[in-house]
Amino acid sequence: MIIMKEKFNKILPRYTYIPLLTVLLFNTLVYNASKLITNNLFHYNFSSFLDSKVPLIPFFVLIYLLAYVQWIVGYIVIARESKEVCYRYCSADLIAKLLCLLCFLIIPTTMVRPELSNGGLLNSLLGIIYMLDAPVNLFPSIHCLESWMVFRGSLKCHKVSNSYRIIMLITAILVFLSTIFVHQHIIIDIFGGIIVCEIGIWFAYHFNTAKLFFSLEKIFNKDDHHGKKKK
C-alpha cells in the first residue's frame, strides 16, 4: 500500500490533490447545475450561415472523445511543473468556469443537430453522445476551453519539450474542429471557449489567484499537523 502511494505521489505530488479535485468538482457543478436551473428557460440558437455549411464528419467523434485524454495528460503535466504553475492554472480554470456559468445562466444556448444515419461504429458512438449530452450549455465551449487551457499551460512548463507544446497546440485545434464536425457546438462557441480561457489566465496572473490554493494548503497542513500531535 505504501509502495503504491509512493508511486502515485511520483505521478501527482501531494500538493496537486486539492486544486485538481476542486477544478473537477467545480466543472461538474457548473455544467450540471446550470442545466437544471435553465431547463425551462428560452434557449438561444446562434447558428450562422457558415454553421449550416459545416458537414457532419463522424470520424471526428474519436478526436472529440480523445480530448479527455489530452486534458488528463495536460493537467498532470501542469500540476507536476511546480506549485506556482499548478495553483495559477487551476485558479485560472475556476475563473474561466465561473464565466461559463454566468453565460450558461444569462444566455442559455442550444442548436439543431443533424439526423444520424443508421449503422457504423462512429455513428453509434455519436448517437450515444447525443443521447447523454443534450444540446445545451454550448456557449462558451468547455471542450474548447479545456483544450486551450492545457496548451496555454504547457507554454509555462519548462520540464517538457517544444514537441510536447506543438502536440498540445495541434491537438487543441483538432478538438476545436471536432466540436463543429460532430455538431456538438457551433463556430462562435469555439471563440467563446478561447476568450473565457484567456480571461481566466489574465485574471490569475494579474490578481495572483494562486494564493487561494496556497491558503488552502496552509489550512490542510495545519490540520494534518494537529492530527499527528494528537496521535
pLDDT in tens, 182-195: 999 999 999 999 99
Model confidence at 219, pLDDT cuts 50, 70, 90, reads confident
The neighbour count for residue 140, using CB atoms within 10 Å, is 26
- Name the residue type at position 59: F
Candidates 140, 179, 143, 141; CA nearest to 57 is 179
pTM for this one?
0.92
Task: Answer yes or no: are the C-beta atoms of 96 and 197 closer than 8 Å.
Answer: yes
Give me the chain's average pLDDT, please: 92
Q: Which one-letter DSSP state was computed for residue 15?
A: G
Tell me what pLDDT residue 187 has. 98
Instruction: Give percent of the chain above pLDDT 90.
Output: 86
Whether residue 14 has pLDDT greater than 70: yes
Candidates 2, 164, 140; CA nearest to 76 is 164
Whether residue 225 has pLDDT greater than 50: no
Tell me what pLDDT residue 217 has. 86
State CA 169 to chain mean position distance. Answer: 15
Task: Answer yes or no: are the C-beta atoms of 68 and 150 closer than 8 Å.
Answer: no
* CA distance linking residue 103 with residue 136, whole number of Å: 12
Whether residue 140 has pLDDT greater than 80: yes
**pLDDT per position as a tens digit, 76-86:** 999 999 999 99
Phi (first) and psi of residue 136, to 5 degrees: -135, 175
Phi (first) and psi of residue 13, to 5 degrees: -55, 155
* CA distances (Å), origin 176, targets 14, 67, 94: 32, 10, 21
Instruction: Give percent of the chain above pLDDT 70.
Output: 92
* CA distance linking residue 152 with residue 99, whole number of Å: 18
Tell me what pLDDT residue 99 has. 98
Model confidence at 11, pLDDT cuts 50, 70, 90, reads confident
Model confidence at 136, pLDDT cuts 50, 70, 90, reads very high
Whether residue 113 has pLDDT greater than 80: yes
Model confidence at 223, pLDDT cuts 50, 70, 90, reads low
Whether residue 154 has pLDDT greater than 50: yes
Phi (first) and psi of residue 110, to 5 degrees: -150, 175
**pLDDT per position as a tens digit, 34-50:** 999 999 999 999 999 99
Whether residue 8 has pLDDT greater than 80: no
